[in-house]
């Protein structure tokens, strides 16, 4: 007979039913957002080698994925376009007939108001140099010239039917420029999900393949330094002052401390992006038999929710719903 007091925390872990009853952190389909890539002119889905199970969609398969997302009760889809041609200014992102705006119209037509259709608002998929903004004569990203294009891009996406636009380029003043343009064009109801704390991360690597990136150099002069935490709060405050409705931390796993700090600091919804490198890392470990894949997926998503994220952008969104149903 042990002599310690009768407090035994293990009693609350004794069965699956008990663990469900006392779970402090839960994941619901409505909290998950599925990022999707739609490729211009694709006749069949194109596998992304660094992200097993993720594809560049055709317009038809994208519509099917949107319909499935609505049926599963996901919170939304975040659309990225993969154009067949690019130029110095990323004009394809503004063109009403560009692949991203076409994909937005397709998604809204498919799901209506049953699913939030979100659009990445950035030029990097559309520029020949792969940067998130236009370049000046010295080859540097011109912040203020880029803002004018973001404003046009936001209006184009809202005109296509996007419920939510996601400025992700980390240009100073981007939220204010987009909010002013949206309101001026009569889109006061369009929501802005600001990529407020987006870090210059190695974990974006597979995403470059997913969007056929043409990046030359790096983005360290405009995305955040991984060393800095206080700066993230400053960025969040600036975006909220400019009119952001929701804010995001990207990536998620290496920055769970930032997710928690942002969640404690603001009173608006906080999203976190479970990025391509996080996805690829777990998938590779599972493929080698080093980790239980399904348990790993749910543990990873739970950790992001536990850190304080209200919503999670994740390539596992649809599969996670099925895993949760079986748990």
* 250 flagged as catalytic: yes
Enter the tokens of residue 285: 């470990």
Task: Tell me phi and psi for residue 202, to 5 degrees.
Answer: -70, -20
Distance CA 102, CA 2 (A): 69
> Are β-strands 46-47 and 311-314 bridged in parallel, bridged antiparallel, or unpaired?
unpaired
Catalytic entry in 64, 86, 220, 250 = 250
Distance CA 6, CA 111 (A): 55
Tokens 């004018």 locate to 148
**DSSP classification of residue 171:** -
Distance CA 94, CA 104 (A): 13
Q: Quick count: other Cβ atoms within 10 Å of Cβ 207?
A: 24
> Are β-strands 311-314 and 32-39 bridged in parallel, bridged antiparallel, or unpaired?
parallel
DSSP 266-297: -SS-EEEEE-HHHHHHHHHHHHTTSS-HHHHH
> What is the rounded end-to-end Cα distance, in angstroms, of the chain?
36
Cβ-in-10-Å burial (0-12, 13-18, 19+) of 88 comes to exposed
Tokens 């998130």 locate to 132
* 198 flagged as catalytic: yes
Q: Which residues belong to the active site?
A: 198, 250
């Amino acid at each position: 007979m042990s002599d310690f007091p009768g407090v035994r925390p293990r009693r609350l872990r004794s069965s699956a039913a008990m663990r469900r009853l006392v779970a402090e952190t839960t994941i619901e389909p409505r909290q998950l957002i599925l990022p999707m890539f739609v490729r211009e002119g694709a006749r069949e889905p194109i596998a992304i080698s660094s992200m097993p199970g993720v594809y560049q969609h055709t317009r038809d398969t994208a519509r099917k994925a949107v319909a499935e997302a609505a049926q599963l009760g996901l919170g939304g889809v975040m659309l990225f376009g993969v154009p067949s041609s690019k130029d110095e200014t990323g004009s394809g992102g503004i063109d009403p007939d560009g692949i991203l705006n076409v994909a937005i119209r397709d998604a809204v037509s498919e799901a209506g108001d049953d699913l939030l259709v979100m659009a990445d608002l950035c030029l990097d998929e559309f520029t020949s140099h792969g940067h998130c903004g236009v370049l000046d004569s010295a080859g540097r990203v011109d912040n203020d010239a880029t803002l004018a294009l973001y404003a046009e891009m936001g209006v184009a996406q809202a005109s296509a039917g996007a419920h939510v636009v996601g400025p992700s380029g980390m240009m100073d003043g981007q939220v204010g420029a987009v909010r002013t343009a949206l309101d001026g064009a009569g889109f006061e109801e369009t929501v802005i999900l600001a990529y407020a704390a987006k870090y210059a991360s190695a974990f974006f690597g597979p995403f470059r393949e997913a969007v056929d990136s043409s990046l030359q150099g790096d983005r360290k002069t405009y995305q955040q330094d991984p060393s800095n935490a206080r700066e993230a709060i400053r960025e969040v405050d600036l975006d909220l002052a400019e009119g952001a409705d929701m804010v995001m931390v990207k990536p998620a796993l290496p920055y769970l401390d930032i997710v928690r700090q942002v969640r404690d600091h603001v009173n608006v919804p906080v999203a976190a992006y479970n990025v391509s490198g996080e996805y690829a890392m777990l998938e590779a470990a599972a493929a080698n038999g080093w980790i239980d894949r399904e348990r790993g997926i749910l543990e990873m998503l739970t950790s992001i929710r536990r850190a304080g994220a209200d919503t999670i952008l994740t390539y596992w969104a649809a599969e996670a719903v099925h895993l949760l149903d079986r748990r």
